[in-house]
Amino acid sequence: MKNLLKTLLELLLITLGCGLTAFGTNEFIIPSHLLAGGLTGICIIIYHYTNWPVGTQYMLFNIPLLVLGYIYIGKRFSFYTVYAVVMLSLFLNILHINKFFTHDVLLNAIFGGIVASAGSAIVLRFGGSSGGLDIPSRIIAKYKNIPMGKFMLLVNGLIVLSSAYIFTVQMAMYTLISIFMGAKTYESFLHHIDRISVMIITNKGDQVAEVITTTMRRGVTKWHAKGAYTQSDKEVLMCVVVNVQFQDLKQIVLAEDPEAFITVMPTSRVVGQFATVW
């Protein structure tokens, strides 16, 4: 029952995040002739040429990406992502494209980036993803050690150049402002730290270590310890991950040992064999 309520709450918050993303896109970005980052920006480009609804495009383009995500990222991530993609596509089609608050392009660029990215961050914070190019960027990062940030920077750079070609250089500059504000909002919501050290105190060291190495593809260091109060034998596990992986790590650890004690420490640098997989 507790897990069911937790899942329902997460789905509710993912729905809220999708609604915010669609609202920021349809009420600020599209009517001001701006482009968003990622797949949404590509859909907006096609929309301006064909009037093909952005939500419909987004859903269709995500189908092959979701299949890849299911294969290479995992079932739970894909379930929440499928839900988020469906909800975002619906909201993008339902919400009317209109300059709801202001006709000032700069204000629309700023607040469009903030609102849309806040929604995407909420979705990611609760275990999902709004799909799009986030999926291939995670796969590329996981298997080719190319950071997500570099991949998305390249894509968004091409989108800004497209904005200059389709509209004007001035509109491309506004688009750049919108993407920058969105990136800062995204970072603020997620409190992003590149790397974190996670320490796990557990009675099931071997089982927890195995599930981390097989599921997360991360190395684990283990040593024996004893509880000062209980005098019972414990095992301490330590691994380094990037911040966005922590929710997945926490869930697989607690699934293996619900009584595990977990601490997290920011890690500014790592010397040695550490692959940046997200």
Instruction: Supply the CATH number for residue 219's domain.
Output: 3.30.70.120
Q: Are residues 162 and 214 in the same domain?
A: no
Q: Which pLDDT score is estimated for 88?
A: 95
Domain end position, chosen among 173, 190, 207: 190
Q: Are residues 96 and 119 in the same domain?
A: yes
Q: How far apart are CA 156 and CA 35, in angstroms?
A: 10
For the cut 70, the answer to whether the pLDDT of residue 242 exceeds it is yes
Q: Are residues 139 and 254 in the same domain?
A: no
For the cut 80, the answer to whether the pLDDT of residue 267 exceeds it is no
Max CA separation in the chain (angstroms): 70
Q: Are residues 185 and 219 in the same domain?
A: no
Q: How far apart are CA 34 and CA 199, in angstroms?
A: 45
| Mean pLDDT of all residues belonging to the chain | 85
Q: Are residues 214 and 252 in the same domain?
A: yes
Domain end position, chosen among 159, 190, 221: 190
191 phi/psi in degrees, rounded to 5: 45, 50
- Say which residue the tokens 């409190």 belong to: 191
Q: Are residues 217 and 244 in the same domain?
A: yes
Q: How far apart are CA 268 and CA 196, in angstroms?
A: 8
Is position 273 within any domain? no
Is position 261 within any domain? yes
Is position 277 within any domain? no
For residue 238, give the nearest of 228, 255, 225, 251 by alpha carbon.
225
The predicted model gives 6-17 an average pLDDT of: 91
Domain end position, chosen among 190, 224, 241: 190
For the cut 80, the answer to whether the pLDDT of residue 176 exceeds it is yes
For residue 79, give the nearest of 7, 186, 140 by alpha carbon.
7
For the cut 50, the answer to whether the pLDDT of residue 129 exceeds it is yes
Q: Are residues 20 and 119 in the same domain?
A: yes
User: 21-30, 97-106, 122-131, 145-154: lowest mean pLDDT where?
Assistant: 145-154
Q: Which pLDDT score is estimated for 277?
A: 43
For the cut 80, the answer to whether the pLDDT of residue 274 exceeds it is no
Q: Are residues 76 and 206 in the same domain?
A: no
Q: Are residues 214 and 82 in the same domain?
A: no
Q: Find the helix or strand (DSSP H, E) in which 2 lies.
A: helix 2-24
For the cut 50, the answer to whether the pLDDT of residue 193 exceeds it is no
Q: Which pLDDT score is estimated for 275?
A: 57
The predicted model gives 24-41 an average pLDDT of: 92
Is position 120 within any domain? yes
Q: Which pLDDT score is estimated for 152?
A: 77
Is position 276 within any domain? no
- Which range in 109-113, 239-243, 248-252 is most confidently predicted, on average pLDDT? 109-113
Percent of the chain with pLDDT over 90: 39
The parent domain of residue 163 ranges over 2-190
Q: Which pLDDT score is estimated for 149?
A: 65
For the cut 50, the answer to whether the pLDDT of residue 278 exceeds it is no
Q: Are residues 179 and 215 in the same domain?
A: no
Is position 44 within any domain? yes
Domain count along the chain: 2
- The encoded tokens of residue 44 equal 């907006």
Q: Which pLDDT score is estimated for 172?
A: 92
Q: Are residues 108 and 203 in the same domain?
A: no
pTM, entire model: 0.70
For the cut 90, the answer to whether the pLDDT of residue 227 exceeds it is no
Q: Are residues 219 and 153 in the same domain?
A: no
For the cut 60, the answer to whether the pLDDT of residue 276 exceeds it is no
Is position 249 within any domain? yes
Is position 275 within any domain? no
